[in-house]
Amino acid sequence: MRFDLLTIFPELIAPHLESGITRRAFASGQVQVKCWNPRDFTEDNYRRIDDRPFGGGPGMVMLVEPLERALAAARMDRGDPSNCPVIHFSPSGERLTQAVAAELAAGEGAVLVCGRYEGIDQRFVERHVTREISLGDFVLSGGELPALALLDAVTRLLPGVLGDEASHQQDSFQADSGGLLDCPHYSRPEQLGEDRVPAVLLSGHHAQIARWRREQQLRYTQERRPDLIDAARAAGRLTADDEKWLRTLRDQ
């Protein structure tokens, strides 16, 4: 799997590739990441990659031509001149979700376009971008942080990246757990002031522990993200026991 990033700040990307659990995927070459700076593809003495917007207004707009040359270089280097997905990070894009990360983890990678300033010239988007993605309803200074978030979300789903293959199957939003929030977790010490670890977790009774964790998933999700409960119900991911527990919560 390979990701190519079009970014004028490649120095923001490198530290992520050398830290954390996912670094093993980058170090081993399981996930290849290469940055392409549009400034390296300019043809003027000032290496200009932006200019004022037509129609007036504040800010600057990233120019089409340096981005197109950088994209062409990335595609040629991949040996895939036209078929690679091109993702642009934009407030108008679809939300980055666990389902989107899983979809991308099953592919061969993409070119990630990291815009800056007021944005990039719309003609580049219309000519080349195949998908637009957003982290949420807020605005960032550039696309590098969304690109890093996507890289992390996708990479941790790949085989062998996490220490335990079952780790991501229990994550929040994971389809394996019904798309619900994860349950709370506890570790040592067993007692912290007046706060004790729930007794069931110390019981060694695996079936009871599993049921407790499922009930806590349902409780947390119902309290904090009831829309996920509705989605799980619509998808047929809730069991009869789940529904019984949810009725108990409503009656409390």
Contact between 113 and 69 under an 8 Å Cβ cutoff? The reply is no
Phi–psi pair at 89, nearest 5 degrees:
-90, 120
- How many whole angstroms separate alpha carbon 31 and alpha carbon 161? 10
Bridge partners of residue 6, in order along the sequence: 36, 113
Q: What are phi and psi of 120, to 5 degrees?
A: -110, 155
Active site residues: 91, 118, 156, 171
Pairing of strands 50-51, 61-62: antiparallel
The secondary structure of 20-52 as a DSSP string is STTHHHHHHTSSEEEEE-GGGG--STT---EEP
